[in-house]
Amino acid sequence: MTETKTPDRLRVAIVDDEEPARALLREYLAAHPEVEVVAECANGFEAVGVAAEHDVDLLLLDVQMPGLSGFEVLELLDRDVAVVFVTAYDEHALRAFEVHAVDYLLKPFSAERLGQALTRARQRLGRPQPGLAGIAAAARPPGVPLTRLLVREGPQVHVIPVEELDVAEARDDYVCLRSRGREYRKQQTLAELEARLDPGKFVRVHRSFIVNVERLARIERYAKDSRLAVLKDGTKLPVSRAGYSRLRDKL
């Protein structure tokens, strides 16, 4: 049986919107010569950029932060990074372990408790981790429709309120989101997106398209058994039989 190799050094990024909390983590980490703090982030947007630009092994990640929550940060990562949640709120613990966090530190915690989390992180490194799509699904409360969509382009994060989404189109292994005249590429399947949108406001009119019903102007007959959805901006989308049936229930 092959033994997993534990790295000699642990490259860590601290993510917390409160400077005293970051300072305490720096103090505790200074007692661990094998740990290298590669970045400090005051919000989730900075954390996404750091994870994209640096070879980070471990995120010490707060949950409740302005802009992006810790769970939303995980959704935007494009590679496996070990995560230890550091928070003052115990109600997030179950969701943290559902997204396969290494540990969950409840403030205030001791230096010894952080040391235990670092040991677990080193043991976790090098082992296969769950896919990011599964992490994103587990990170959100079940049964609650999305209120915004998050799209990462390099270190930049776009936040799209769902009411501003016009159309979502399936393309290869990603979806194209159209909003306010722009297109955004998100690594997700159309089925995954459909499951998280409000079915009273968004309808899958075709296997490749989901439309915001508020953007719909009219339905046109295209051929004997074919129809087109015409949006208020003039965009035309194919409508399948099943899609037309779903649309009629909303119109």
Of 212, 88, 184, 198, nearest to 144 by C-alpha is 198
Q: Is 2 part of any domain?
A: no
Same domain, 153 and 132: no
155-173 pLDDT, tens digit per residue, is 788 999 999 999 999 998 8
Q: Which of 87, 120, 139 is the last residue of a domain?
A: 139
> What is d(CA 237, CA 35) in angstroms, rounded to the nearest whole number?
53
The answer, yes or no, to whether residue 1 has pLDDT greater than 60, is: no
Confidence of residue 129 (pLDDT cuts 50, 70, 90): low
DSSP assignment of 84-115: EEEES-GGGHHHHHHTT-SEEEESS--HHHHH
Q: What is the pLDDT of residue 142?
A: 59
Lowest mean pLDDT among 25-34, 85-94, 203-212, 230-239: 85-94
Q: Is 4 part of any domain?
A: no
Q: What is the pLDDT of residue 2?
A: 44
Q: Is 75 part of any domain?
A: yes
CA 16 to chain centre: 18
Same domain, 17 and 104: yes
> What is d(CA 175, CA 187) in angstroms, rounded to the nearest whole number?
7
Of 186, 195, 72, 81, nearest to 130 by C-alpha is 81
- The pLDDT mean for the chain works out to 86
Q: What are the residues facing 229 on neighbouring strands? A: 219, 237
**pLDDT (average), residues 43-60:** 91
Same domain, 182 and 79: no
Same domain, 74 and 96: yes
Count structural domains, the chain. 2
**Number of neighbours of residue 76 by Cβ within 10 angstroms:** 22
Same domain, 124 and 37: yes
Q: Is 172 part of any domain?
A: yes
Confidence of residue 127 (pLDDT cuts 50, 70, 90): low
CB 193 within 8 A of CB 168: yes
The answer, yes or no, to whether residue 141 has pLDDT greater than 80, is: no
The answer, yes or no, to whether residue 240 has pLDDT greater than 90, is: yes
Cis peptide before 142 (omega within 30 of 0): no
Same domain, 135 and 73: yes
Q: Is 89 part of any domain?
A: yes
Work out whether strand 35-41 and strand 202-206 pair parallel, antiparallel, or are unpaired: unpaired
Supply the CATH number for residue 130's domain: 3.40.50.2300
Q: Is 5 part of any domain?
A: no
The answer, yes or no, to whether residue 93 has pLDDT greater than 50, is: yes
Same domain, 133 and 152: no
Q: Which of 106, 139, 172 is the last residue of a domain?
A: 139
Supply the CATH number for residue 220's domain: 2.40.50.1020
CA 214 to chain centre: 26
Same domain, 163 and 107: no
Secondary structure percentages of the chain, helix, strand, coil, to 5: 35, 35, 35
CB 212 within 8 A of CB 193: no
105-120 pLDDT, tens digit per residue, is 999 999 999 999 999 9
> What is d(CA 169, CA 190) in angstroms, rounded to the nearest whole number?
7
Q: Is 24 part of any domain?
A: yes
Q: Which of 101, 122, 139 is the last residue of a domain?
A: 139
Contacts of 134 (CB under 8 A, 6+ apart): none
The answer, yes or no, to whether residue 5 has pLDDT greater than 50, is: no
> What is d(CA 195, CA 175) in angstroms, rounded to the nearest whole number?
14
The answer, yes or no, to whether residue 131 has pLDDT greater than 80, is: no
- Domain encompassing residue 27: 10-139
Same domain, 181 and 227: yes
Q: Is 169 part of any domain?
A: yes
Same domain, 122 and 191: no
Same domain, 33 and 135: yes
Same domain, 20 and 117: yes
**pLDDT (average), residues 1-24:** 80
Classified as helix, coil or strand, 51 is helix
Contacts of 166 (CB under 8 A, 6+ apart): 178, 179, 211, 212, 215, 231, 233, 235
205-215 pLDDT, tens digit per residue, is 999 999 999 99
pTM value is 0.73
